[in-house]
Amino acid sequence: MCTSIYQVTLDHTHLLARTMDWPVLAVSPLFIPRHFRWATAFDHRVYENKYALVGGGSLDARRVDVSDGVNEWGLMAQKLTFDNGAHYQDERNRNKVQLAAYEFIFWVLGNFRSVQDLVDHLDEVELMSEKNSDTKYGNPELHFALADRTGRIVVIEPSQTPLRVIENPLGVVTNSPDFDRQLAQMERYVDFTPAFTAGKVPLNTPRVTTGRLSGKTNPPGYYSPSARFVRAAYLKERADVPADEATGLISEWHLLDSVTVPQNSRHQPTYSVYRAVTVAESRSYYFQSYHRGDITKLQLTDDMMNWTKPKVYHVPDRLSVREVK
């Protein structure tokens, strides 16, 4: 599960928010420096990243796993579960960058300045099954949301080779069914603009629907991927366009409220273990775990560009409440 919601503000600040729906919290805010060297889980080939980044993930001697974040150029990226059938490769090829799917976001943020920069090099990478891998990591099916300072927002799906790039001016992604079907079902709830229907939405367009709701169906209230997609897109299109980062952050948290899956251990193990918002212009990462009401902000400053070691910021999962007398 998981839901991604993108917004662009009136002053052209770009925010990419998400819920992480999982059985346990395994992510902390972290910083990765420039020139960080790491080995892939697939074939243990060593790569050196170009760029620094902040985001949410985990880091140890055997595994680097970044779920979402923003790099020094303002490129933002997220991984989300993909339930439409991922097509991973099996055979080794020294002429390709071959990664476990969960490593893709880390590789992207460490090596590319924009969505277009990545698209220009997308044929160089393959996402690999564990059939011939050096390390067994299962076969998690993932797809990816990416946005940058230009206002371009895309979905990347492992449904073909090279990976499929889908322009996404609506700015909402969930898990299943595939993205084209998610867009098609939205027509029950909203009317898209002619520019959206024609695939010609200019960058930084905050809304892609007409706002006319007469005769349309109300969005569903349950938590399936399809329902969350409809609800997030519907409310995003109806909400005021935020003025700047501060109001955009407030707007993103309220939109995430509508798709945050509550913990219900009697019926399902998965819930929204954390929520996060990345901001391209300020290179900021805002993190909130399910059991805390406060928000942790990690900003990639110019001074941090000179840091040489990664850092993980362990945020306690429980918030202590102090009673005032």
- CB-based contact 56:69 (threshold 8 Å): yes
Q: What is the pLDDT of residue 324?
A: 52
Specify which residues 77 forms β-bridges with. Answer: 69, 146
Q: What is the mean pLDDT of the segment spanning 34-41?
A: 97
Q: Is it true that the peptide bond before 177 is cis, omega within 30 degrees of 0? A: yes
CA–CA distance, 148 with 152 (Å, rounded to integer)? 6
Domain parsing of the chain, residue ranges? 3-309
- pLDDT tens across 186-205, in order? 989 999 999 999 999 999 99
Instruction: Provide the whole-model pTM.
Output: 0.95
Q: What is the mean pLDDT of the segment spanning 24-30?
A: 95
Q: What is the mean pLDDT of the segment spanning 47-53?
A: 98
DSSP state of 275: E
Q: What is the mean pLDDT of the segment spanning 20-27?
A: 94
CA–CA distance, 35 with 280 (Å, rounded to integer)? 21
Q: Over 70: is that where the pLDDT of 89 sits?
A: yes
CA–CA distance, 277 with 297 (Å, rounded to integer)? 9
144: Cβ–Cβ under 8 A, 6 or more apart, which residues?
Answer: 77, 78, 79, 80, 104, 105, 108, 155, 156, 157
Q: What is the pLDDT of residue 325?
A: 45
Q: What is the mean pLDDT of the segment spanning 91-104?
A: 97
Q: What is the pLDDT of residue 176?
A: 67
Q: What is the pLDDT of residue 323?
A: 54
Determine which of 25-29, 70-74, 129-133, 222-226 has the lowest per-residue pLDDT on average: 222-226
3-state secondary structure of 40: coil
- pLDDT tens across 212-260, in order? 888 889 999 989 999 999 999 999 999 999 999 999 999 999 999 999 9
Q: Over 70: is that where the pLDDT of 181 sits?
A: yes
CATH code of 3-309, in short, is 3.60.60.10
Q: Over 80: is that where the pLDDT of 157 sits?
A: yes
How many Cβ atoms are within 10 Å of 241's Cβ, its own excluded? 14
**pLDDT > 90 in the chain, percent:** 82
- pLDDT tens across 254-312, in order? 999 999 999 998 888 999 999 999 999 999 999 999 998 899 999 999 999 999 999 99
Q: What is the pLDDT of residue 184?
A: 85
- CB-based contact 259:232 (threshold 8 Å): yes
Determine which of 1-5, 89-93, 286-290 has the lowest per-residue pLDDT on average: 1-5
Q: Over 80: is that where the pLDDT of 178 sits?
A: no
Alpha carbon separation from 205 to 6, 136, 191, 196, 254 (Å, rounded): 11, 43, 16, 10, 20
DSSP string, 126-174: EEB-STT-SS------EEEEEE-TTS-EEEEESSSSSPEEEE-TT-EE-
Q: What is the mean pLDDT of the segment spanning 98-107?
A: 97
- Within the chain, what is the greatest distance between any pair of CA atoms? 67
Q: Which residue has the higher pLDDT, 258 or 61?
A: 258
